[in-house]
Amino acid sequence: MNRILIGAQWGDEGKGKVIDILAAKSDIVVRYQGGPNAGHTIKVKGRKFVLHLIPSGVLYSKKICVIGNGVVIDPDALFEEVKMLAQGDIEVRNRLFISDQAHLIFPYHRLMDQLRENSLKKGKAIGTTKRGIGPCYADKMARVGIRICDLRSMSYLRQRLADVVKDRNAILTKVYKVQPISFEKTFAYCQKIRSRLLEFAIDTPKYLYESSKAGKNILFEGAQGTLLDVDHGTYPFVTSSNATVGGAITGSGIAPTFIDRIIGVVKAYTTRVGEGPFPSQFPSKLMEQIQKKGEEFGSTTGRPRRCGWFDAVIVRHAVRINGLDAMAIMKLDVLSGLKNLKIATAYRINGKITRDYPHAINEFSVAKPIYETMKGWNEDITGCKKWNDLPVNARKYLKRLETLTETPIKMVSVGSQRHQTIFL
Ligand code: GDP
Ligand code: IMO
Ligand code: MG
Based on the residue annotation, tell me whether 103 is a catalytic residue of this protein.
no
Give me the helix-helix angle, 154-174 and 107-119, nearest 10°.
20
Cα 384 to the chain's mean position, in Å?
28
Decide: helix, strand or coil at residue 340: strand
CATH assignment at residue 316: 3.90.170.10
Q: Collect all residues with Cβ–Cβ distance below 8 Å to 193 and sequence separation of at least 6.
A: 75, 79, 151
Residues 169 and 217 in one domain: no
Residues 290 and 395 in one domain: yes
CATH assignment at residue 129: 1.10.300.10
Kindly indicate the confidence band of residue 122, based on its pLDDT and cuts at 50, 70 and 90: confident
Based on the residue annotation, tell me whether 167 is a catalytic residue of this protein.
no
- Could you tell me the end-to-end alpha-carbon distance of the chain, in angstroms, rounded to an integer? 19
225 CA to middle of ligand 3, Å?
Answer: 10
Residues 194 and 216 in one domain: no
Distance CA 101, CA 73 (A): 11
Distance CA 291, CA 285 (A): 10
242 CA to middle of ligand 2, Å?
Answer: 12
Residues 43 and 127 in one domain: no
**Ligand 2 atom, smallest distance to 299 CA:** 9
Residues 410 and 333 in one domain: yes
Single out the catalytic residue among 20, 27, 40, 325. 40
Contact 347, 368 (CB under 8 A): yes
Q: Does any ligand 2 atom lie closer than 6 A to the CB of residue 226?
A: no
Range of the domain at 122: 103-200
Q: Across the chain, what does the average pLDDT equal?
A: 97
H helices present in 100-153, as ranges: 107-119, 133-141
What is the mean predicted confidence (pLDDT) over 3-11? 98
The strand order across the sheet containing 409-413 reads 201-202, 96-99, 64-67, 28-31, 218-221, 3-7, 261-267, 326-330, 409-413, 421-423
What is the mean predicted confidence (pLDDT) over 139-145? 95
Residues 178 and 298 in one domain: no
Residues 277 and 393 in one domain: yes
Kindly indicate the confidence band of residue 301, based on its pLDDT and cuts at 50, 70 and 90: confident
Contact 20, 56 (CB under 8 A): yes
Residues 330 and 226 in one domain: yes
Q: What is the pLDDT of residue 121?
A: 84
Decide: helix, strand or coil at residue 409: strand
The whole-model pTM stands at 0.98
Q: Is 105 left (phi over 0), alpha (psi -120 to 50) or beta?
A: beta
- For ligand 2, atom 13, the nearest C-alpha belongs to 239
Q: Is 46 left (phi over 0), alpha (psi -120 to 50) or beta?
A: left
With a cut of 90, say whether residue 360 has pLDDT above it. yes
Distance CA 349, CA 359 (A): 12
Kindly indicate the confidence band of residue 123, based on its pLDDT and cuts at 50, 70 and 90: confident
Closest CA to 38 of 55, 20, 59, 58: 55
Task: Give 148-194 pLDDT, tens digit per residue.
Answer: 999 999 999 999 999 999 999 999 999 999 999 999 999 999 999 99
Residues 196 and 217 in one domain: no
68 CA to middle of ligand 2, Å?
Answer: 19
Q: How many domains does the chain have?
A: 2
Residues 252 and 375 in one domain: yes
Of the candidates 178, 200, 222, which is a domain's last residue? 200
Q: What is the pLDDT of residue 45?
A: 84
Residues 258 and 397 in one domain: yes
90 CA to middle of ligand 1, Å?
Answer: 21
Cα dihedral 81, 83, 85, 90 sign: positive
Distance CA 101, CA 95 (A): 18
Task: Give 10-51 pLDDT, tens digit per residue.
Answer: 999 999 999 999 999 999 999 999 999 999 999 988 899 999
Of the candidates 155, 179, 200, which is a domain's last residue? 200
Task: Give 57-83 pLDDT, tens digit per residue.
Answer: 999 999 999 999 999 999 999 999 999
Of the candidates 177, 200, 223, which is a domain's last residue? 200
Cα 244 to the chain's mean position, in Å?
10
Pocket of ligand 1 (CB under 6 A): 7, 11-17, 39-41, 43, 294-295, 299, 330-331, 333-334, 413-416
Residues 74 and 118 in one domain: no
Closest CA to 54 of 331, 42, 131: 42
What is the mean predicted confidence (pLDDT) over 398-421? 97
The pLDDT > 90 percentage for the chain reads 97
Distance CA 251, CA 229 (A): 13
Using CA atoms, how far residue 169 sits from 72, 133, 163, 164, 178, in Å, is 21, 19, 10, 9, 9
